[in-house]
Amino acid sequence: QKEVEQDPGPLSVPEGAIVSLNCTYSNSAFQYFMWYRQYSRKGPELLMYTYSSGNKEDGRFTAQVDKSSKYISLFIRDSQPSDSATYLCALDSGAGSYQLTFGKGTKLSVIP
């Protein structure tokens, strides 16, 4: 079983829709959870950063972590064409070697 599973999509939604992106993981040692956004032919950029279970909101974006289920989500409200990108979850145990474990990413297209 891979450490982090993420549906690659592609996911296509109309402008204004609510988008739900998800990752599951197997290692209970992960303590820090991140979402990166990667535009085509660009490097990833950090979008959201959360620690432990619960929700974190930033504008139209909400990150949700359920450690008991080993499940993390990113919700995008009122999606815009500019949100079209690949979204990668990244997890960190926070102990020992400083390494992020990335999901493979979900490609999202928001259609005007």
Contact 86, 107 (CB under 8 A): yes
Helix, strand, or coil here: 20?
strand
Contact pattern from residue 65 through residue 84 relative to another protein, giving x for each residue in contact according to CB under 8 A and a dash for the rest: --------------------
Please enumerate in sequence order all residues whose Cβ is within 8 A of that of 106, keeping only pairs 6 or more positions apart, or say none.
6, 7, 8, 9, 10, 11, 21, 86, 87, 88
Taking contact as CB under 8 A, which single stretch among the options 15-23, 39-47, 53-61, 75-83 is the one that binds another protein? Answer: 39-47
Quickly count: other Cβ atoms within 10 Å of residue 58's Cβ.
Answer: 10
Tell me, what DSSP letter sits at residue 81? Answer: G
Minimum CB distance to another protein, residue 14 (Å): 27
Residue among 9, 32, 61, 67 that touches another protein (CB under 8 A):
32
Residue among 56, 60, 67, 104 that touches another protein (CB under 8 A):
104
Residues engaged in binding another protein (CB under 8 A): 32, 41-46, 49, 88, 92, 94, 97-100, 102-105
